[in-house]
Amino acid sequence: DVAREAAREQGGSEKIGTTGRGIGPAYEDKVARRALRVQDLKFPERFANKLRDLLSLHNHVLTTYLNSRQFDFGPVLAPYMKDGEVQFDSVYEEAMQQAELLKPMMADVSRELNDAHLKGENLLFEGAQGTLLDIDHGTYPFVTSSNCVAGNAAAGAGVGPSLLHYVLGITKAYCTRVGGGPFPTELEWEVPGTPGYHMSTVGAEKGVTTGRSRRCGWFDAALLKRSAQVNGLTGLCITKLDVLDGLQKLKLCTGYMLDGDYTDILPMGADDISRCQPVYETLDGWSETTVGVTQYDQLPTAARLYLQRIEQVTGVPVHVVSTSPDREHTIMMRHPFLAD
């Protein structure tokens, strides 16, 4: 990952913004049907043979095409590298140590989940990345290597799609993005005194994996409309409403001008999105604090109107609102597990 990003930059291409954790290459191995799988850890000899084959391929790519000998791979990877190549012995030894921790947790996940469903237990599937990072429905090529829309919860876990009775879309009260890629409502978030700076600092917007600052912008309801469409959202959870406290005016993107034409939904693909000019509605902000509010009717009038307008533009009802990092500070209008 690190070597490829550097090669893209040196070749004049735009960096994708990968976290540099090897996710992309691992997925390439999976699709090419050469990947190491968890079950291989139970059979050390089989694991070793597959690992040797993989390293033969990847080391050839690293040294021949990516000129890996010139890179500093940092303290995490350094123990496994020598002259730009990944060393078999160090990787194998580490894998076998980790295998002892993983073996007790290995299970037929599909069967476990389906058995739990038959017993009447609640099942919760949680996605880890945003819709626009989806390999098929995101801002390609500025995407991750997997499907991260709601439908993949069923495919990835090994349950039928009919088990997904309720889909809660989780979004901040404003927009953020970490890494590269188009961002129609992006604000200047590094200049003190600007709304973008307010969102960045009050919202403590740093990427969890890399620590990079997230880019910040106004709420994009047209983007959320696309997300609602591809995920089949039942309801919305709006987080970080409290971050907007103190802003006099708020802007809500309801659509875009794209090559002279108006569209009320996010286009597909990074090229079209990069040419979008946002069309905004301006709403009143609020001076009162919303931190810790747990009842909808206790929110400032302007905050309620803001949430209502999001519902109107996206066509998806707001079911949950978060008003601080404390999980107890949540307004629950409709509980997902109690939904009809």
Q: Range of 69's domain?
A: 2-106
- Which of 106, 139, 154 is the C-terminal boundary of a domain? 106
What is the spatial distance between Cα 318 and Cα 337, in angstroms, rounded to a whole number? 15
Domain assignment present for residue 151? The answer is no
- Asked if 310 and 322 count as a contact pair (C-beta separation under 8 A), the reply is no
Q: Which residues are registered as beta bridge partners of 176? A: 216
pLDDT value of position 240: 98
Buried-exposed string 68-95: b where 16+ CB fall within 10 A, e elsewhere: beebebeeeeeebbeebbbebeebbeeb
pLDDT value of position 244: 98
Domain assignment present for residue 325? The answer is yes
Residues 333 and 218 reside in one and the same domain: yes
What is the spatial distance between Cα 111 and Cα 152, in angstroms, rounded to a whole number? 17
- Which of 88, 106, 124 is the C-terminal boundary of a domain? 106
Which CATH number do you get for residue 11? Answer: 1.10.300.10
pLDDT value of position 9: 60
Domain assignment present for residue 160? The answer is no
Q: Give the DSSP H/E element, type plus range, for residue 128.
A: none
pLDDT value of position 294: 98
Residue 169 CB-half CA count within 13 A: 29
- Which of 106, 137, 156 is the C-terminal boundary of a domain? 106
Name, in order, each residue with C-beta under 8 angstroms of 31's C-beta and a sequence gap of 6 or more.
Answer: none
Which CATH number do you get for residue 235? Answer: 3.90.170.10
pLDDT value of position 211: 75
* Chain centre to alpha carbon of residue 159: 22
Domain assignment present for residue 154? The answer is no
pLDDT digits (tens, 9 = 90+) for 95-141: 999 999 999 999 999 999 999 999 999 999 999 889 999 999 999 98
pLDDT value of position 15: 60
- Asked if 215 and 189 count as a contact pair (C-beta separation under 8 A), the reply is yes
Q: Give the DSSP H/E element, type plus range, for residue 172.
A: strand 168-172
Residues of the chain with pLDDT under 50: none
pLDDT value of position 1: 62
Domain assignment present for residue 92? The answer is yes
Domain assignment present for residue 37? The answer is yes
pTM over 0.85: yes
